[in-house]
A and B are shown apart, each in its own frame.
Chain A
Amino acid sequence: MTDSLAATTPTAISENLQEFLLSRTKQAWEPDVDLFASGVVSSMFAMELVVYVEKTFDVMVLGEDLAVDNFRTVNKMTDLVLRLSENSGV
């Protein structure tokens, strides 16, 4: 498990997510490819992804932020992390 990457750059977030996806799905993911259209996301993996994002980037993803659109691609997840870090970054 990596240490918290809070307040990091979009590139670092994106690369970290791609690495995690590679380790869990055994395939590489371009940042704009739809993970959910691929059928690779099992019910267990959907939750793992949420928990991984929370733990790695020290954010809480709650309520409407759990909408599937926020997790659809690496880019979407990166946007989510940046937005949530901004909101909590006091």
Chain B
Amino acid sequence: MSDAAALVTEAVGDSAAEWDLAGWIPHEVVRGLGAKGVLCAEVPARHGGLELSGVDNGELTAHTGALCSSLRSLMTSQGMAAWTIQRFGTRDQHSEYLGQLTGGTLAAVAFSEPGAGSDLSAISTRIERDGDTVVVTGRKTWITAAAYADVVLVFGRFGTDTAVAVVPTTAPGVRVERVPAPLGCRAAGHSTVDLDNVRLPLSSVLSGRGFPLPLLVTTALTYGRLSVAWGSVGMLRACLTEAGRHAGTREQFGSTLAQHQLVARHLAELYVAERTATKMCEDASQSWDARSPDMGAAAVLAKYVASTAAARGAATAVQVLASAGAQDGGVVARAFRDAKLMEIIEGSSEISQLVLAERALLAAQ
């Protein structure tokens, strides 16, 4: 196990069920991992990061996802924030913000709005320049990690382009309100973020300027999709272990469950799902590490394959464990709820399919 993975194991201990039921991870646990650079592990060492490769960060993400999907969700947000700053920020902003994100400051990334989910071109939040300041106004919904965050990266209209403002949650005019009872990743701090004429220095806007929305969103989401995909692999691994352990020991009709062929098939399907998702994720992260132009499409493919496999696999694991898996907070019960959300966030399965269909058409031409 890598050092970073060991830190996650130690931080989670046997608390994942408790965190899930409480809908909250103690702030000091999250901040502690953040301060060790674990939550955005690809950040370069010169900014205090662990400088992991995409493949190694993927394995760390899967490890975290196998233990606690809520913590893994916070990791996805922190990593996506760091990546967005790395790509679109100035050198000064790299030094300032990346140092903070590896030093215990927690971040969320805010794309979605009441009227802009899959269609992010409908974003209505405004970032308006006023001399050396900007004023941010809008409402962001279902923002993962926002309840923990010290800063929120807010995507908003900036003239005819889109800009990203790094908004401290303590700034006057910012209100963060938790989604009361999310279906899954219950301790991931999903919140509504209201921004009422929040005035910030222009230096809070990445590079102080706007960019094309598609470029911003695809760049940020490619990191997020890889992270969600690896997190889904982690869930599948946890489900496979639980289902295998149960089916190998529990006896009915005079033999273990695994000796009943219909149950053995469930195990085979879970194994195939885990292996398939892992290979897709490795392929996508290798594209990422090689800076291949295909990385965006590879990330969509990996996210689609891994999240759908996890949703199906978690349901299978609950079936195998039956009453032993039906207790809320337990590993497979959590995976059952958490995996469903993975088919929705960072590009729903249907949006992913549209991208993949485009790919198929291009290949056929």
Physical interaction between A and B: yes
Q: List the interface of chain A (C-beta within 8 A of B).
A: 1, 24, 26, 36, 41-44, 46-52, 54-55, 62-64, 66-68
Q: Is there contact, CB below 8 Å, between B217 and A63?
A: no
Query: Of B131-139, B177-185, B230-238, B291-299, which binds chain A?
Result: B291-299
Q: Does B348 contact A (CB under 8 A)?
A: no
Choose, from B62-70, B87-95, B106-114, the stretch at the interface: B87-95
CB distance from A17 to the nearest CB of B (A): 12
State how many angstroms separate the Cβ of A51 from the closest Cβ of chain B: 5
Kindly state the separation between the CA atoms of A41 and B209 in the bound complex, as whole angstroms.
21
Closest residue of B by beta carbon distance from A64: B207
Question: B214 within 8 Å of A by Cβ?
Answer: yes
Contacts A47-B296, A51-B292, A66-B87 given: A42-B215 contact, CB under 8 Å? no
Residues of A within 8 A of B91 (CB): 63
- Assess A26 versus B365: contact at CB under 8 Å? Given A44-B296, A63-B90, A68-B212: yes
The 25 sampled A-B contact pairs (Cβ below 8 Å) are: A24-B362, A41-B214, A43-B217, A43-B218, A46-B214, A47-B219, A48-B296, A51-B292, A51-B293, A54-B291, A55-B292, A55-B293, A63-B88, A63-B91, A63-B206, A63-B207, A64-B90, A64-B207, A64-B209, A66-B87, A66-B88, A66-B207, A66-B211, A67-B209, A67-B211
Known contacts A44-B296, A63-B91; decide if A55 and B222 are in contact (CB<8 Å).
no
Which of chain B's residues have a CB closer than 8 A to the CB of A49? Answer: 293
Cα–Cα, bound, A55→B287 (Å): 11
For A66, the chain B residues whose CB sits under 8 A away are 87-88, 207, 211, 215
Which chain A residues border B296 with CB–CB below 8 Å? Answer: 44, 47-48, 51
- Nearest Cβ on chain B to A75's Cβ, whole angstroms: 18
A66 → chain B, closest Cβ, in Å? 6
Complex CA gap A43/B88 in Å reads: 16
Chain B residue nearest to A56 in the complex (CB) = B293
Contact-residue bracket for chain B: 20 to 34
Does B355 lie at the interface of the complex (its beta carbon under 8 Å from any beta carbon of A)?
A: yes
A48 to chain B, nearest CB (A): 4
**Residue B100 at the A interface, CB < 8 A?**
no
Q: Are A44 and B88 closer than 8 Å at their CB atoms?
A: no
Nearest CB on B from A35, distance (A):
11
Q: How many A-B residue pairs have CB under 8 A?
A: 74
- Near A by CB (< 8 A), chain B positions 102-148 give none
B86 interface hit (Cβ, 8 Å) = yes
List the A side residues contacting B96 at CB < 8 Å.
none
Smallest CB–CB gap between A41 and chain B, Å? 8
| B238 vs chain A, min Cβ distance (A) | 31
* A1 touches which of B89, B209, B292, B297 (Cβ 8 Å): B292
Residue pair A46, B295 in contact (C-beta under 8 Å): no
> Contact at B207–A48, with CB atoms within 8 Å?
no
A46–B215 touching, CB < 8 Å:
yes
Q: Which residues of A contact B14 (CB under 8 A)?
A: none
A43–B215 CA distance with the chains assembled, in angstroms:
6
In whole Å, how far is B161's beta carbon from the nearest beta carbon of chain A? Answer: 7
Contact (Cβ within 8 A) B295 A51:
yes
B355 engages A46 (CB within 8 Å): no
Chain B 206-247: CB-based contact to A (< 8 A → 1; otherwise 0): 111101111101110010000000000000000000000000
Q: Which of A26, A52, A63, A67 contacts B293 (CB 8 A)?
A: A52
CA distance A44 to B214 in the complex (A): 7
- In Å, the complex CA distance between A15 and B300 comes to 30
Known: A47-B219, A47-B296. 5 other contacts (CB 8 A): A47-B214, A49-B293, A50-B215, A51-B296, A68-B161
